[in-house]
Amino acid sequence: MTYEYDRENIFAKIIRGEIPNDTVLETEHCLAFRDITPQAPVHILVIPKGNYVNFDHFGAAASDAEIVDFSRTIAKITKDVAVDPASGGNGYRLIANSGRDPVQEVAHMHVHILAGRPLGRMLQKT
Ligand code: 5GP
């Protein structure tokens, strides 16, 4: 399986500091920042700093340290913004669009954290 990673995608430029971002949290392996077109009061993107196209690429090729850091970063953010149910928050949704059918717009692995309003059921029939 080969993955073609485009180093000129917008998130690669954000990681390199060529495009500004509203950073929420940065770790050794990840960057989390606010989505430029928020779909909910909380809309944060979490991306690995490594060159991964999507979730299946990340899951197959990233190191254990990168994968652990990614999960822990998401968990930390949900606590920091007080949406995690364990702290009495109203919860959140994670979305990882990968490929054509879910309409992945940016070909750098990312997870959306959405929260801060009722989000409805998972999918609408189209
Ligand atoms: P996708 O459809 O690939 O899962 O989502 C890509 C997301 O990236 C979209 O929600 C879009 O608003 C966001 N986005 C695209 N360009 C930029 C940018 O330059 N800065 C930030 N912060 N978000 C962006």
Give the DSSP H or E segment for 46: strand 42-48
Q: Is the CB of 10 under 6 A from ligand 1?
A: yes
Range of the domain at 62: 10-115
pLDDT, tens digit only, all 126 positions of the chain:
789 999 999 999 999 999 999 999 999 999 999 999 999 999 999 999 999 999 999 999 999 999 999 999 999 999 999 999 999 999 999 999 999 999 999 999 999 999 999 999 999 887
Spacing, Cα 50 to ligand 1 middle (Å)? 17
Contacts 24+ apart (CB under 8 A), 93-100: 93/119, 93/122, 96/54, 96/55, 97/54, 98/54, 98/55, 98/56, 99/54
In-domain check, residue 120: no
In-domain check, residue 111: yes
Q: Is the CB of 37 under 6 A from ligand 1?
A: yes
Global confidence as pTM: 0.97
CATH code (residue 53): 3.30.428.10
